[in-house]
Amino acid sequence: MTTIEANLQIVRARILDACQQAGRRPEEVRLLAVSKTVAPELIALAHRAGQQAFAENYIQEGVEKISALSALGLEWHCIGPVQSNKSRLVAEHFDWVQTVDRFKIAQRLEQQRPTHLPPLQVCLQVNVDGGPNKSGVRPEQLPELAAQVSQLKHLRLRGLMCIPEPAPDFEAARSVFAKARDLFDQLNAGGLQLDTLSMGMTADLEAAIHAGSTMVRVGTAIFGARA
């Protein structure tokens, strides 16, 4: 067994355990493998060990791997900031983008998504803890942005994503994630049909699952520490 295969088994067991603790069904939580800085050969190994969905932060690096691994039919998520001058690459190459935080970028993606492809699957990044990490829409502005993005034809709004600052303990992490969960529930109560709450990484996936995460983004625990 490869190290990556063993690591994947450990991460899947952590997810299973957290779901049991939280009284949730394991099928409710998807594992996204964060492959930034990871070589294509290792991504292929993870795929052989059963992993289907991968995420990249740096758009150029992601596009190169998407091309190199196109024969495998993987699902690719963009989880890094999208500057205007990179939006076309995202629209043309990725299946999902989780970092939309302003309408201007959503409109560019809408115009640039090739019509022969399925709609680009979108999560809005929300700044739940007001952290110094300036990306993410502020919670007060989220309902308007969600309403606007949900109207775009070549984008499909799937949910929310957040990257809170590291918390000191489980309970602190859970309570920040719970804010994202509340925003998600409010949007659905307001008539949207969102199914994805992307939160939780190597260090805090259990707290995120307790708070209702449906997609954890895990890099280090699968591929090892990044250089």
Ligand X SMILES: *Cc1c(COP(=O)(O)O)cnc(C)c1O
- Using CB under 6 A as the binding rule, whether residue 158 contacts ligand X is answered as no
How do beta strands 155-161 and 196-198 pair? parallel
From residue 56 to residue 85, the character string flagging contacts with ligand X as x (rule: CB under 6 A) and all else as - is: -x---------------------x------
From candidates 20, 67, 70, 220, binder to ligand X by CB under 6 A: 220
DSSP string, 151-198: T-SSEEEEEEE--PPPPSSHHHHHHHHHHHHHHHHHHHHTT----EEE
CA dihedral 73, 56, 82, 153 (to 10 degrees): 30
CB of 153 to ligand X, least distance (A): 27
- Using CB under 6 A as the binding rule, whether residue 34 contacts ligand X is answered as yes
- Closer to ligand X by Cβ: residue 36 or 154: 36
If we measure between CA atoms, which residue out of 111, 143, 138, 118 comes closest to residue 127? 138
- Using CB under 6 A as the binding rule, whether residue 164 contacts ligand X is answered as no
Total number of residues binding ligand X (CB under 6 A)?
Answer: 13
Taking the C-alpha atoms of residue 135 and residue 137, their distance in angstroms, rounded to an integer, is 7
- Using CB under 6 A as the binding rule, whether residue 133 contacts ligand X is answered as no
Residues contributing to the site for ligand X (CB under 6 A)? 34, 36, 57, 79, 163, 201-203, 217-221
